[in-house]
Amino acid sequence: MSSQTKAIINSKIQYKSPSNIAFIKYWGKRHRQLPMNASLSMTLTHCHTITEVEFVYSENGFYLNQFFLDDILNLKFKNRAENFIDSIKDEIPFVNKYKLNIRTTNSFPHSAGIASSASGMSALVMCLLKMEAKLNQTEIDLQKASRLSRLASGSAARSIFPNFVRWGKTADTDNFSEDFAEEIVSLNSFPKLMDTIAIVSKTEKTVSSSHGHSLMNAHPFAEARFKQANDNLKDMLSAMHENDLSLFGEILELEALTLHGLMLSSSPSFVLLEPNSIAIINEIRHFRESSKLPLFFTIDAGPNIHMIYPESIKEEVKPFFENSILPLSLKLIEDIQGTGPELLSEVYE
Ligand code: DP6
């Protein structure tokens, strides 16, 4: 606070932040969102959240005044955002002098079954850190943004960075941090990837990610899984460095099916896949065999199927999506590897 030069009485900061799709899955955590294994993701573009935070100078200390989701007051998200900001106040002490109004909207329908916590929490943190940076006349510290986003939702740590992003250690001795994610810049010659998401169901998840993570604590396969994920991450990175798309795709699909295998074998067990999820997986595998095109799938904690392929074969896979996948889906959302959060507007008075 001491480095502040000028009080800001009122400001509005708006950020757009993308979702990300995990290639190597974070499933199992300890303490406050520290992962049990390293994960690797691709930052998306079109699946994003736009959040505007209004900061109004207040002598009464921090409080969250209003939270609008898609122009409608939302008490559940207000409580979640308020608790989160409360929990990081020591990290952003300036906030003790402001009351906040938050307006947020997702580019994808709230009920589309696409996780909005990664884009939503990273967008909120970027707004908070932009205000801090403005007050301190510095730049946003992206490692801090990733670390604070992680405290809200583990996968949000990865949405701060563009392209391919890793979070966590594959061994106690490696140099990566568990506190924040980082872009894997050495992968800049890997083909640009697309992600066409087959929305299979819009119903809310029956089991939250947080609950799913907690079931890993007593999971009989936990130790083997954490080791497998770390090995898969190393193997996937090697495949990507060597431009070996078929090995990349093999590991990608193994990770997705392992994630759902862990759910099937948790106690209590749960099933998030729908009959059409399986039908789509089979279609993709048949298509790949007959066309020899590098089209692969991954799956998040839900029934929707993410179809991953290089942008260069976009036109070749389109008829397959329309003829074979769309009839098994509610809709398709086309997305592409992205560049990370973007400041849309800032106004200070
Ligand atoms: C299956 O990040 O949503 O998408 O840390 O409890 O908020 P919390 O969980 P969350 O878990 C994501 C799980 C996953 C895999 C991944 O994104 O790595």
Q: Each residue of 17-37: pLDDT tens digit?
A: 999 999 999 999 999 899 999
Ligand 1 atom 4: residue of nearest CA: 300
Peptide bond before 162: cis, by omega within 30 degrees of 0? no
pLDDT in tens, 70-106: 999 999 999 999 999 999 999 999 999 999 999 999 9
Number of C-beta neighbours around residue 68 at 10 A:
16
Q: What's residue 249's pLDDT?
A: 98
Angle formed by the axes of helices 75-87 and 142-152, nearest 10°: 130
- Give residue 112's pLDDT: 64
State the average pLDDT over residues 175-195: 95
Which of ligand 1's atoms lies nearest the C-alpha of 150?
5
Which pLDDT score is estimated for 202? 80
Q: Which ligand 1 atom is at minimum distance from the Cα of 25?
A: 18
In Å, how far are 17, 116, 211, 275 from 47, measured between CA atoms? Answer: 9, 9, 24, 25
Q: How far is the CA of 311 from the centre of ligand 1 (A)?
A: 26
Is the CB of residue 154 below 6 angstroms from any atom belonging to ligand 1? yes
Mutate-to-test residue for ligand 1 from 37, 213, 214, highest number of ligand atoms within 8 A of CB:
213
Nearest-CA residue for atom 7 of ligand 1: 153
Ligand 1 proximity of 298 Cβ (cutoff 6 Å)? no
Q: Phi and psi at residue 91, in whole multiples of 5°? A: -80, -25
The answer to whether residue 3 scores a pLDDT higher than 70 is no
Pocket test for ligand 1, best of 209, 211, 252 (most atoms within 8 A of CB): 209
Q: Which of 75, 153, 83 is nearest to 117 (CA)?
A: 153
| Ligand 1 near 306 CB (within 6 A) | no
240-261 exposure pattern, b = at least 16 Cβ within 10 A, e = fewer: beeeebeebbbbbbbbbbbbbe
* Ligand 1 center from residue 264 Cα (angstroms): 17
Query: What pLDDT, on the 0 to 100 scale, is given for residue 1?
Result: 45
**281: which residues sit within 8 A by CB, 6+ positions away?**
297, 305
What is the structure's pLDDT at 2? 46
Taking only the tens place, the pLDDT of each residue in 267-289 is 999 999 999 999 999 999 999 99
Number of neighbouring beta carbons within 10 Å of residue 200: 24
**pLDDT of 273:** 96
Q: Quick one: average pLDDT of 126-152?
A: 98
**197 is written with which tokens?**
């998401």
Average the pLDDT over 251-256 and give the result.
Answer: 98
Q: Tell the residue nearest (CA) to atom 5 of ligand 1.
A: 154
The per-residue pLDDT for 113 is 64
The answer, yes or no, to whether any atom of ligand 1 lies below 6 A from the CB of 22, is: yes
Q: Is 33 in the pocket of ligand 1 (CB under 6 A)?
A: yes
Region for 143 from its dihedrals, namely left if φ exceeds 0, alpha if ψ lies in -120 to 50, beta otherwise: alpha
Q: What is the pLDDT, as a whole number, of residue 110? A: 67
**Count of beta carbons in the 10 Å neighbourhood of residue 110:** 14
* Confidence at residue 43, expressed as pLDDT on a 0 to 100 scale: 98
For residue 207, pLDDT over 90 is answered with no
Across residues 192-214, what is the average pLDDT? Answer: 90
261 CA distance to ligand 1 centroid (A)? 16
- For β-strands 63-69 and 98-106, DSSP reports them as parallel
Evaluate if residue 172 carries a pLDDT over 90.
Answer: no
Confirm if 162 and 291 have CB atoms less than 8 A apart: no
CA atoms of 215 and 207, how far apart (whole Å)? 11
Atom of ligand 1 nearest to the CA of 153: 7
Phi, psi of 94 (to 5 degrees): -55, -30
Average pLDDT, the chain: 95
Quick one: how far is CA 280 from the chain centroid?
23
Ligand 1 in reach of 272 Cβ (< 6 A): no
Confidence band for 337, pLDDT divided at 50, 70 and 90: very high
Q: Does 155 contact ligand 1 (Cβ within 6 A)?
A: yes
Selection from 192, 209, 232 nearest residue 37 by Cα: 232
pTM (predicted TM-score): 0.96
Distance 209 CA to ligand 1 centre (A): 6
Question: Ligand 1 centre and the CA of 212: distance in Å?
Answer: 9
CB-ligand 1 contact for 153 (6 Å cutoff): yes
% of residues, the chain, pLDDT over 70? 97
Q: How far is the CA of 300 from the centre of ligand 1 (A)?
A: 8
